Amino acid sequence: MNIKSAPLSSLGSTPSNSSASSTSNLAGDASSNVSSGIDVCGQLQPSIIAPPPRKNPPKFEENNHNDGYEKVIVRQRGEENRTRLTDSQVLDELKRIVNGGNPYNKYKLEQKIGVGASGTVYTARIIHGEDEGQIVAVKRMAFKSQPKKEMLLTEIKVMQQYQHPNIVNYRESYLVEEDDLWVIMDYLEGGNLTDVVVKTELDEGQIAAILKECLKALNFLHNRSIIHRDIKSDNVLLGLDGSVKLTDFGFCAQIQPGSKRNTMVGTPYWMCPEIVNKARYNYKVDIWSLGIMALEMIDGEPPYLHETPLKAIYLIAQNGKPEIKQKEKLSKEFVHLIDRCLCVNPEERADTCELLEHPFIKQAKPLSALVPYIKAVKDLKDQ
């Protein structure tokens, strides 16, 4: 399977990746999304390797985000002229779309599984209703202290309105005393893709399988004029059945067909040149980030990870397409797919329709091939 062999017991304690976003363990049961044919890969024990530690990048001291990789939000001049909601208007709209009642009457918080810039994520048990006993994920946020309240409103609306097998399933939300915001989603026990990328070495068939599932989610979103704007391994969640789901819509935007944005948002190491160069952009930004995530699955980290966020932004603007470090070890199909994702000119960059038909994606293994790796990494974390 092109995996470096090393016994699990020899790993010891592998440093966890603090880059995990606050939603790193949110997801749902999507067994119906697993390929029906289970091949022998699903029955093999994966070999786990201990790569060089994935160091935490330095923080942006200029802002208050503290969830690992800094998520930059810089409003550029020339942003679309549209009326922005006041905090009071956002609150009124939020109260309109959330559920009524007290979430404590239905959910019992159990374990803290993530802390990010916008809030804290817990597992919770349903204590009342037809799903009693089921475990879900709860993201709690102090609404009044959120710097970008309208983006939070957009996140909830997008999750409410759009369901897809490759997008984490939204259940409901509550606003307690106009400040304590609960967003309840399905829980994926497999954690995020970052853990698998850092602790294992995936082969091309497995990488293709993950990219294929992400592309299906992006195709769904882009066809509805939604840009995710924060594609990275931290925001790809895995089920113990091999399911792959996109999460964290905190930076998503819904645009008019044919229009573009120029707000600088996202995580610097996955940003595309047009964003860092303050140019106007569209859904092609997600394709670039997906290409960087492909490099991440090869190397265990994105390009420039050991640079400061500002230096990384400079290097992206200066260098354009990053180097493929292990190019000679990759198939020509994989190299071509990366090249199509990382075209500096967004007009020449591939879209989801092209990539879903790409020869490399056609080589994707069944999702069952991911299961041993997901379970092995989970067991390692649970030790």
Query: Domains in the chain and their CATH numbers?
Result: 8-63+190-382 (1.10.510.10), 87-186 (3.30.200.20)
State mean pLDDT over 91-98. 94
Which has more pLDDT, 292 or 43?
292
The candidate with the shortest Cα–Cα distance to 225, out of 155, 158, 151, is: 158
Residue 183 exposure: Cα atoms within 13 Å on the Cβ side: 30
- Please say if the pLDDT value at position 335 is more than 90: yes
Residue 82's contacts (CB-CB under 8 Å, 6 or more residues apart) are none
Cβ-Cβ contacts under 8 Å for 141 (sequence gap 6 or more): 118, 119, 152, 181, 183
Higher pLDDT pick, 353 / 146: 353
Active centre residues (catalytic): 230
* Residue 187 binned pLDDT confidence (cut-offs 50, 70, 90): very high
**pLDDT above 90 (res 265):** no
Residue 80 above 70 pLDDT? Answer: no
Q: pLDDT by residue (tens digit) across 36-72?
A: 333 333 334 444 444 445 654 433 333 333 344 444 4
Give the mean model confidence (pLDDT) for residues 137-153.
90
Is the confidence at residue 222, as pLDDT, over 50? yes
